[in-house]
């Protein structure tokens, strides 16, 4: 089973830059998209069902902000975008799908770059999200979490860790939560195959950082321990352009 995840930084913009062509070339079983920045009245029929895929949307109230969509070749058993939490349900950040073998979360985690209040919100989001995944996991199925986590976990996950030691997205409290997620029995799948620095998923557009590979790895596929033995490949696709992020992929047996 092949899954892709991509923060597109605007679905309407990426649609004109080869989005459907990428979908046709990769033909994943599931494509999870973050930061769609789109509202219901802006969706076209093709956006709802490209190449016959099913789609499930979480759209924020604020125009041009946030939003996620999960495209699936086969309809999931269930899908949800609300979880009874004001923190998780706000801003259009999560699409949950129950697949036959596992629970899948497509998530655009909050950014902490707007001060202490926003950092506190991000940490609450992290904590409530972990409680949600653990509750589902206790029902007997494994969990896959993918998307833009908006945090680089370790020093090898960004090009300039010393210069960014106090920068949002690499602050100790944010990094500690990723460590806690892993301690709860979730695996950073990319690190199963690659322990080297220099592999990133986001680059600052303003400084043309991508050409110099001065980036951050903030997009992830995590799987719970129940699924770890099924992981066959976890890749970053830096050659795919069109956004300030690149896609990532996961292949499960």
What tens digit of pLDDT does each residue of 35-89 get?
A: 999 999 999 999 999 999 999 999 988 888 899 999 999 999 999 999 999 999 9
In 10 A of CB 229, how many CB atoms? Answer: 10
Class of the 2-252 domain? alpha beta
Q: According to the model, what pLDDT value does residue 131 have?
A: 97
pLDDT band at residue 239 under the 50/70/90 scheme: very high
pLDDT, averaged across the chain: 96
User: What does pTM read for this prediction?
Assistant: 0.97
Contact residues for 213 (Cβ-Cβ < 8 A; gap 6+): 159, 198, 200, 203
Angstrom CA distances, 162 to 153, 166, 184, stand at 14, 9, 28
Q: According to the model, what pLDDT value does residue 60 have?
A: 87
Angle (nearest 5°) at CA 172 between 124 and 125: 15
Q: According to the model, what pLDDT value does residue 182 have?
A: 98
pLDDT band at residue 214 under the 50/70/90 scheme: very high
Mean pLDDT computed over 201-228: 97
Residue 225 among the catalytic residues: no
Q: According to the model, what pLDDT value does residue 63 have?
A: 80
Q: According to the model, what pLDDT value does residue 49 have?
A: 97
Q: Choosing from 41, 148, 204, 219, which is the catalytic residue?
A: 148
Dist. CA 35–CA 252, nearest whole Å: 25
Which residue matches tokens 């199963």? 192
In the structure encoding, which two tokens stand for residue 14, read together? 């990426």
Mean pLDDT computed over 107-135: 94
Mean pLDDT computed over 168-190: 97
Q: According to the model, what pLDDT value does residue 113 have?
A: 80
All structural domains of the chain with their residue ranges: 2-252
Q: According to the model, what pLDDT value does residue 61 have?
A: 84
């Amino acid at each position: 089973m092949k899954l892709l995840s991509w923060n597109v930084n605007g679905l309407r913009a990426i649609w004109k830059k080869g989005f459907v062509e990428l979908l046709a070339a990769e033909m994943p079983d599931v494509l999870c998209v973050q930061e769609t920045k789109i509202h219901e009245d802006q969706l076209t029929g093709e956006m709802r069902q490209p190449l016959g895929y099913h789609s499930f949307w979480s759209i924020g109230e604020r125009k041009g902000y946030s939003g996620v969509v999960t495209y699936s070749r086969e309809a999931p058993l269930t899908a949800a975008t609300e979880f009874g939490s004001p923190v998780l349900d706000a801003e259009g950040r999560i699409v949950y799908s129950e697949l036959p073998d596992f629970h899948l979360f497509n998530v655009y985690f909050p950014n902490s770059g707007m001060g202490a209040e926003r950092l506190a919100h991000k940490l609450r989001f992290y904590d409530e999200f972990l409680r949600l995944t653990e509750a589902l996991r206790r029902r007997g199925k494994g969990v896959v979490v993918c998307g833009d986590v908006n945090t680089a976990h370790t020093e090898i996950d960004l090009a300039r860790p010393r210069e960014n030691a106090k920068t949002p997205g690499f602050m100790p409290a944010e990094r500690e939560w990723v460590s806690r997620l892993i301690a709860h029995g979730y695996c950073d799948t990319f690190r199963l195959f690659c322990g080297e620095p220099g592999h990133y998923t986001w680059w600052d557009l303003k400084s043309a950082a991508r050409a110099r590979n001065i980036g951050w790895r903030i997009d992830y596929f995590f799987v719970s321990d129940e699924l770890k033995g099924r992981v066959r490949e976890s890749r970053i696709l830096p050659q795919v352009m069109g956004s300030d992020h690149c896609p990532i992929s996961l292949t499960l047996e």
